[in-house]
């Protein structure tokens, strides 16, 4: 469902929506569903009708067609709050009333998301759940707030077990901000939550991200950290590496010089594939190399749409095929 998952998640609880012709659906920012006075009145919706029922039907058909285990994609607590409470009011409370934010996130988890997860796993006992939290990423609210708000609200679910790790969140983006140096005290530049100095360094940020996604290591384009860091983290944890190709990297509207883009992407793809190959050769892999799992595979196109320059997609795929095949170190126990 890609970006539409945010819309499905908030529409299911009654948020007024916008369905534009050329863009993904989303909540109407002018009419948030809840505010500071009434947010704790929001209760559990009916998951057997409306949007949740439609999602169940889609997943059932997808399983029949592909044989893949059903993957429910819904918003994580922070991103759900951003869509139904409002991005700006929520950010203001992140700064001025963090205790309220955490209470709100816990309420959304307890009344909306945990019941939805349990409904999904009751309907599909072999199912998975991907929580998405772009709004709660380090890039937007800073690594410290990501740790103490966004990720904390997921860590407390199912006593941290996350339904035997069948629930995960792999799209926290902007790891590079964990390395941002402290700003000069007299800086005249406009500050924001996302650029404030972090007490959380890259190593700690990776550790807390791993706590809510223990099956694989994800490196997204917006992380802006060299792929070698994620390669080493994958090898250390004995988990596969997934590297994302950002939508802007293959979006024709974002590319001024196509030939330069080809050169840069070709080099980047070669580095990604080399890192992935080294990880695959260095960890224990199941017989199927995870190819049947519903979560992202080793090389991941973060968004492909009508504006994608498919010549660049083809170039990346050719680079994958051009690289030497890896030798599996098999684990017959998974």
Q: How confident is the model at residue 329 (pLDDT cuts 50, 70, 90)?
A: low
Percent of the chain with pLDDT over 70: 91
For the ranges 84-93, 182-191, 249-258, 309-318, the one whose mean pLDDT is highest: 84-93
Angle between helix 227-237 and helix 258-282 axes, rounded to 10 deg: 20
Residue indicated by tokens 């030798």? 327
Predicted confidence (pLDDT) per residue in 225-274, tens digit: 999 999 999 999 999 999 999 988 999 888 889 999 999 999 999 999 99
Q: Are 134 and 79 in contact (CB under 8 A)?
A: yes
pLDDT at 331: 56
DSSP state of 185: T
Evaluate if residue 43 carries a pLDDT over 90. Answer: yes
Burial 271-280 (b: 16+ CB within 10 A, else e): bbbbbbbbbb
Evaluate if residue 182 carries a pLDDT over 70. Answer: no
Evaluate if residue 190 carries a pLDDT over 80. Answer: no
Q: How far apart are alpha carbons 329 and 286 in whole angstroms? A: 9
DSSP state of 287: T
Report which of residues 287 and 194 the model is more confident about: 287
pLDDT at 191: 41
Collapsing DSSP to helix, strand or coil, 196 comes out as coil
Q: Please compute the mean of the pLDDT values over residues 106-128 and round it to a whole number.
A: 98
Calculate the alpha carbon distances from 59 to 3, 213, 290, 296 in Å.
Answer: 16, 22, 20, 17
Output the CA torsion sign for 280, 225, 213, 23: negative
Report which of residues 162 and 182 the model is more confident about: 162
For residue 155, give both structure tokens. Answer: 């860590």
Q: How confident is the model at residue 118 (pLDDT cuts 50, 70, 90)?
A: very high
pLDDT at 195: 45
For the chain, first and last CA: distance in Å? 28
What is the domain partition of the chain in residue ranges? Answer: 1-214, 216-334
Q: How far apart are alpha carbons 331 and 116 in whole angstroms? A: 33
Q: How confident is the model at residue 58 (pLDDT cuts 50, 70, 90)?
A: very high
pLDDT at 330: 56
Predicted confidence (pLDDT) per residue in 286-306, tens digit: 777 777 777 777 888 888 888
Q: Give me the architecture of the 1-214 domain, per CATH.
A: Alpha-Beta Barrel (3.20)
Evaluate if residue 46 carries a pLDDT over 80. Answer: yes
Q: How confident is the model at residue 95 (pLDDT cuts 50, 70, 90)?
A: very high
Q: Give the pairing of strands 26-27 and 217-219.
A: unpaired
Percent of the chain with pLDDT over 90: 72
What are the DSSP calls for 106-168, one per residue? HHHIIIIIHHHHHHHHHH-TT-EEEEE-GGGSHHHH-HHHIIIIIIHHHHTGGGGTHHHHTEE
Evaluate if residue 27 carries a pLDDT over 50. Answer: yes
pLDDT at 38: 98
């Amino acid at each position: 469902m890609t970006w539409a998952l945010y819309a499905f998640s908030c529409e299911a609880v009654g948020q007024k929506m916008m369905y534009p012709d050329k863009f993904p659906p989303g909540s109407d920012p002018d009419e948030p569903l809840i505010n500071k006075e009434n947010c704790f009145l929001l209760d559990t919706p009916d998951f057997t009708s409306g949007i949740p029922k439609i999602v169940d039907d889609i997943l059932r058909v997808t399983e029949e067609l592909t044989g893949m285990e059903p993957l429910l994609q819904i918003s994580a607590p922070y991103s759900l709050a951003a869509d139904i409470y409002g991005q700006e009011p929520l950010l203001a409370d992140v700064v001025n009333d963090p205790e309220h934010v955490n209470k709100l996130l816990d309420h959304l988890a307890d009344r909306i998301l945990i019941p939805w997860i349990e409904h999904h796993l009751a309907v599909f006992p072999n199912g998975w759940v991907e929580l998405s939290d772009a709004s709660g990423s380090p890039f937007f609210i800073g690594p410290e707030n990501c740790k103490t708000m966004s990720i904390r609200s997921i860590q407390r679910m199912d006593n941290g077990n996350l339904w035997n790790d069948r629930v995960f969140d792999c799209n926290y983006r902007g790891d590079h901000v964990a390395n941002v140096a402290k700003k000069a005290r007299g800086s005249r530049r406009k500050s924001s939550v996302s650029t404030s100095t972090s007490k959380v360094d890259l190593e700690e940020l990776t550790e807390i991200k791993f706590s809510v996604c223990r099956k694989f290591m994800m490196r997204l384009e917006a992380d802006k950290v060299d792929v070698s860091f994620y390669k080493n983290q994958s090898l250390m944890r004995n988990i596969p590496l997934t590297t994302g190709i950002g939508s802007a990297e293959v979006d024709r509207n974002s590319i001024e010089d196509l030939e330069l883009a080809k050169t840069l992407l070709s080099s980047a793809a070669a580095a990604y594939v080399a890192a992935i190959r080294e990880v695959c050769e260095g960890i224990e892999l199941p017989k199927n190399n995870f190819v049947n799992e519903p979560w992202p595979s080793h090389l991941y196109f973060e968004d492909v749409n009508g504006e994608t320059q498919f010549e660049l997609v083809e170039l990346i795929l050719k680079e994958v095929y051009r690289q030497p095949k890896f030798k599996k170190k098999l684990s017959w126990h998974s």
